[in-house]
Amino acid sequence: MPSTSVAYVVDQLAADIQGGKLAPGTALPTHRQLAAIHGMAIASASKVYAQLKAMGMVVGETGRGTFVRDRPAQREWDSSDEARLNANTTDLSFNHPTWPGQADLLRTMLRNLAASGDLATLMRQQPPGGRRHERQIVADFLTSQRGIDADERHVFLVNGAQQGLDIVARALLEPHDKVAVDALTYPGFRMLAEHLRLHLQPIPGHPDGPDLNALENICRQHRIRAIYTMPTLQNPLGWVLSTEQRQRLVGIARQHDCLLIEDASYAFLVDPAPPALATLAPERTVYVSSLSKSLASGLRFGFVVAPDACAGRIKSAIRASYWSMPSLLTAMATRWIADGTVARQEAMLRQDAFDRQAIAREVLAGMDIITHPASMFLWMNLPEDLRMDRIATALARRGIAVSKAQAYATTRHAPHALRLGLSSLPTAQLRSVLMQVRDTIDRFPI
Ligand SMILES: Cc1ncc(COP(=O)(O)O)c(C=O)c1O
């Protein structure tokens, strides 16, 4: 057979992967087999796989071989966005923890589960909110890791923090209720409010947190049913409220009888952190978090801790919606919590986020950045004359996906800014990708 060039084989395999002919997870020929198929040297076959790996299309697993990588397009739902992800896009728009041991962790867990006794219980429906011993594991975890005195009866297992927020809003709020939120807030809550016809009242922000005087005025002028807040590592601005700010927030909520919806999705990154609102005001705080940012976003494992007075309504909202979590999944997640995997992973990611922030600070020095040294993301205000959509498009052309400020804005006008997630790509690539971001902005519109 005539020998074929490395580039030709790379193109052919890349086309088969992109075109769907080779499905995610497909085992590819060994280096030796690939070399034989194409009449090339084994070293050339290795180069083929190295290039496909660099393009993000395949993964090599030691001792097992090379597989087509599954990289779902995160933006599939948003067809208007030019930053749609494909296999070659660098994703700065999301934070998905990806770390080398993930596949092995799952493999070991599946093996252990397969070998465990009474496996048939995982084929049975769980009670709404989860099985008691699994809720207890989450409660103990929250007590030891987050300082929250959680009781198993008040813990509910949900498919990720987003569903937790949805269940809380369905259970405890009604259409047209007014909810105070940061002027720039987590887009998932904004979308949820739109679907449930909640009215968002934006709280103007200071660099270090929401303007609490403004919040007080809002509460005086409107009947605010709930305050949605991320006191530890606010998404997108990265602020961490001090104990004093938290106490004042709780004081306002008590005075105006508002529910506090505390979203702690990124809270694990700050250690030690000031007390959770769920600790300061357990009687009116619903605490929502997940393992999406620490262990795996595809696991869809989250939890809600609710005050006693709200627990019944949350349970019935769960019963009316998804009924219960998949038993197999909660078994895996709670075992990872109980055996210390999650705590270890969180500690590792704290260091990782810190290292990535240091790189970002260095590369983006002099630019208008708002962030926190422990955060997995940063907020970049663009120079006066630059529009966020044009910069996002220019970056998309260079294969870099970012989030635009308008997704976070609850006010009519969004600032021209971008949010960059720093954690979805290997640390080794971060510097060069951020340099490309900087270069694109510095030289725009060239
Ligand atoms: C602040 C915040 N809350 C909730 C979520 C949703 O998390 P999950 O993947 O657990 O649904 C996210 C995800 O990006 C987030 O940033």
Residue 292: inside a domain: yes
User: Alpha-carbon distance 155 to 337, whole Å?
Assistant: 15
Residue 386: inside a domain: yes
Q: What is the CATH number of the domain that holds 175?
A: 3.40.640.10
Atom of ligand 1 at shortest range from CA of 289: 10
How confident is the model at residue 77, as a pLDDT?
41
| 147 & 38 share domain | no
CA of 164 to the centre of ligand 1 (A): 10
Atom of ligand 1 at shortest range from CA of 95: 14
Mutate to test the pocket of ligand 1, among 95, 191, 235, 287 (most ligand atoms within 8 A of CB): 235
CA of 162 to the centre of ligand 1 (A): 6
Per DSSP bridges, beta strands 302-305 and 403-404 are: unpaired
| 263 & 159 share domain | yes
How confident is the model at residue 87, as a pLDDT?
53
Q: Please, what are the averages of pLDDT over each run of 10 residues along the chain (446 residues)?
A: 77 83 90 94 93 85 87 47 59 84 92 91 94 97 96 97 98 98 98 97 95 98 98 98 98 98 98 97 98 94 98 97 95 97 96 97 97 97 91 92 95 94 92 96 84
Residue 28, both tokens: 């590819």
| 253 & 129 share domain | yes
User: Alpha-carbon distance 369 to 360, whole Å?
Assistant: 10
Atom of ligand 1 at shortest range from CA of 162: 11
| 216 & 335 share domain | yes
CA of 235 to the centre of ligand 1 (A): 9
How confident is the model at residue 23, as a pLDDT?
87
| 305 & 203 share domain | yes
User: Which of 316, 339, 362 corresponds to the end of one domain?
Assistant: 339
Atom of ligand 1 at shortest range from CA of 302: 10
Please tell me whether residue 372 adopts helix, strand or coil conformation. Answer: coil
Sign of the dihedral through C-alpha 53, 102, 354, 444: positive
How confident is the model at residue 82, as a pLDDT?
46
Residue 394, both tokens: 């220019």
Residue 305: inside a domain: yes
Residue 205: inside a domain: yes
Partners of residue 68 on adjacent β-strands: 58
Nearest CA to ligand 1 atom 7: 161
Residue 80: inside a domain: no
Pocket of ligand 1 (CB under 6 A): 160-162, 186, 188, 230, 235, 263, 265, 290, 292, 297, 302
CA of 42 to the centre of ligand 1 (A): 44
| 176 & 225 share domain | yes
| 52 & 130 share domain | no
| 375 & 392 share domain | yes
Which of 134, 188, 170, 164 shows the shortest CA–CA distance to 289? 164
How confident is the model at residue 54, as a pLDDT?
79
Report the b/e string of 187-199 with b at 16+ CB within 10 A. Answer: bbbbebbeebebe
CA of 293 to the centre of ligand 1 (A): 8
Query: How many distinct structural domains can be found in the chain?
Result: 3
Q: What is the CATH number of the domain that holds 26?
A: 1.10.10.10
User: Which of 339, 370, 397 corresponds to the end of one domain?
Assistant: 339
Nearest CA to ligand 1 atom 15: 265
User: Which of 339, 356, 380 corresponds to the end of one domain?
Assistant: 339
Residue 439: inside a domain: yes
| 40 & 148 share domain | no
According to DSSP, residue 311 is labeled H
| 309 & 402 share domain | no
CA of 261 to the centre of ligand 1 (A): 13
CA of 35 to the centre of ligand 1 (A): 44
Q: What is the CATH number of the domain that holds 393?
A: 3.90.1150.10
Q: Packing angle between helix 327-338 and helix 341-363, nearest 10 degrees?
A: 80
Residue 251: inside a domain: yes
Q: Which domain holds residue 16?
A: 6-68
CA of 40 to the centre of ligand 1 (A): 47
| 144 & 234 share domain | yes
| 282 & 255 share domain | yes
User: From its phi and psi, is residue 118 left (phi > 0), alpha (psi between -120 and 50) or beta?
Assistant: left
How confident is the model at residue 78, as a pLDDT?
44
Residue 361: inside a domain: yes
How confident is the model at residue 72, as a pLDDT?
54
